[in-house]
Amino acid sequence: MKRRKTFYELIIKRPMDFILSLIAIIVLLPVIIIVAILVRIKLGGPVLFTQNRPGKNEKIFKLYKFRTMTSAKDKDGKLLPDEVRLTKFGKFLRSTSLDELPGLFNILKGHMSIVGPRPLLVQYLPLYNEEQKKRHLVRPGLTGLAQVNGRNAISWDEKFKFDVKYVEKITFIGDIKIIILTAFKVIRRKDINSNNSATMEFFEGN
């Protein structure tokens, strides 16, 4: 599966990602340190949530986020449901997207882009149809077209359609618009959760 890259993708997008993520890390370093300390105090260790995710061309990388859930388990040693382990502090981190700040280091390393389809679970890879697989033709993003059009409040089918729509037409102006709209979404704390659960339901295939 191949696609023709635009001049923006070939020459501008990656250097822009690197420069902007580096500037963001430097400017937000005090916030990153404070959040890390609070996560350690309120949720314990580890401070970072790390998980393997598929990136461009389905290459696996390790995603970084701040931890938002406890490790509470039932009497059988199994983790309790997400809605139980997701604390008030964890909900605050998610609603303000502060939990996503470590993802700036993923962008800096080239695993991700500022804008692109969100990196989902590795276990979803065999479940995509041919159209949905197009989301992996580009680097995944910290934010994306699906995130500014409903985020976790829309269905998987709608989310994938937005992902593919983005992949098929990547432009500088388009990326800037998504970044600006993301900022408004974060300020308004909108569309953080699914309508049916504390986090997005698992994708079970088409």
CA dist 49 and 64 (Å) reads 6
The 3-state DSSP class for residue 61 equals strand
Please tell me the pTM assigned to this model. Answer: 0.88
Give residue 178's pLDDT band: very low, low, confident or very high (50, 70, 90).
very high
For 80-130, the pLDDT digits (tens) are 777 778 889 999 998 899 999 999 999 999 999 999 999 999 999 999 999
- Residues ≥6 apart with Cβ < 8 Å to 60: 52, 53, 54, 122
How confident is the model at residue 150, as a pLDDT? Answer: 84
For 45-73, the pLDDT digits (tens) are 899 999 999 999 999 999 999 999 887 77
Q: Work out the angle at residue 49's Cα, subtended by the Cα atoms of residues 43 and 54, and round it to the nearest 5 degrees.
A: 160
Question: Domain spans of the chain?
Answer: 7-188
